[in-house]
Amino acid sequence: MNADRTPPPSDRRVYLGKIVKTRGLRGDLKILPWTWSLDRFQFLEGIWIQLEGGDLKYFAIKRSRTEGGMAYLRLHECPTRELAEPLIGGELFVDVTERDELPESMYFIDDLVGCKVECEIHGNIGIIEEILDQSAQDIWLVKGKHGVVMIPAVKEFVKSVDIKTKLIKVILPDGLVDMNKVPD
């Protein structure tokens, strides 16, 4: 089943989780999910796994389930614990064409990175270079004329997001730009 598949290039990969351990004698894999919906795994026929050594392999999914915020997969190619154990530490991904639809006002990180951020008060803030996943909200690291500025991604500040034009409009309160500069 693996022989005729070509892995997507790195810029087309959507990461879904990491294998943290095996469970049971039939080789079930416990997955730490990196996806907003645990149900995501139920609708996949197969998944790419990048092993810790860098090898990429495609595996057909035989069974999936969720429990306690984790996903569990059983792969056709790994019917025993011994065959599944070498996959521990591997990262799971699909091609961008298999990406799930998000609810309104949710965005993929890779769609936001590279977007220009403009403020009605402060003008051009810069380009989103990285997004930090915090417990309260995401923090955008925006690099521009003010250096690197941390902007909380909250509805009070974010007024519009246009992924097609890569433009985000914000209104930042006085002092936030200077207060949230990342030190050099």
Q: What is the pLDDT of residues 89-136, one digit of tens each?
A: 999 999 888 887 777 778 888 789 999 999 998 999 999 999 887 778
Do 19 and 82 belong together in one domain?
Answer: yes
**Number of structural domains in the chain:** 2
Whole-number Å distance between alpha carbons of 83 and 174: 58
Question: Has residue 2 been placed in a domain?
Answer: no
CATH code, domain carrying 149: 2.30.30.240
At residue 184 the predicted structure's pLDDT band, cuts being 50, 70 and 90, is: low
Domain boundary, last residue among 38, 69, 98: 98
Residue type, 93: F
What tokens were used for 89?
């530490």
For 21, the domain range is 10-98
For position 1, what pLDDT does the model report? 41
Question: Has residue 1 been placed in a domain?
Answer: no
Question: Has residue 62 been placed in a domain?
Answer: yes
Question: Has residue 3 been placed in a domain?
Answer: no
* pLDDT of 151 higher than 50: yes
At residue 4 the predicted structure's pLDDT band, cuts being 50, 70 and 90, is: low
Residue whose pair of structure tokens reads 């270079």 in the numeric block: 129
Question: Beta partners for 14?
Answer: 94
124/178: higher pLDDT: 124
Largest pairwise CA distance in the chain:
60
Do 82 and 125 belong together in one domain?
Answer: no
Q: What is the pLDDT of residues 46-81, one digit of tens each?
A: 999 999 888 899 999 999 999 988 999 999 999 999
What is this structure's pTM? 0.64
Whole-number Å distance between alpha carbons of 176 and 184: 17
Question: Has residue 83 been placed in a domain?
Answer: yes
Whole-number Å distance between alpha carbons of 15 and 39: 15
Measure Cα distances from 101 to 80, 108, 116, 121, 127 in Å.
34, 10, 23, 33, 25
Q: What is the pLDDT of residues 6-46, one digit of tens each?
A: 888 888 888 889 999 999 999 999 999 887 778 888 889 99
Q: Would you call 80 helix, strand, or coil by DSSP?
A: coil
Whole-number Å distance between alpha carbons of 168 and 159: 8
Q: Are the C-beta atoms of residues 148 and 141 closer than 8 Å to each other?
A: yes
Domain boundary, last residue among 98, 126, 153: 98
At residue 183 the predicted structure's pLDDT band, cuts being 50, 70 and 90, is: low
Do 93 and 115 belong together in one domain?
Answer: no
Radius of gyration of the chain measured on its C-alpha atoms? 20
Domain boundary, last residue among 46, 79, 98: 98
Percentage of the chain with pLDDT > 70?
95
For position 182, what pLDDT does the model report? 65
Question: Has residue 138 been placed in a domain?
Answer: yes
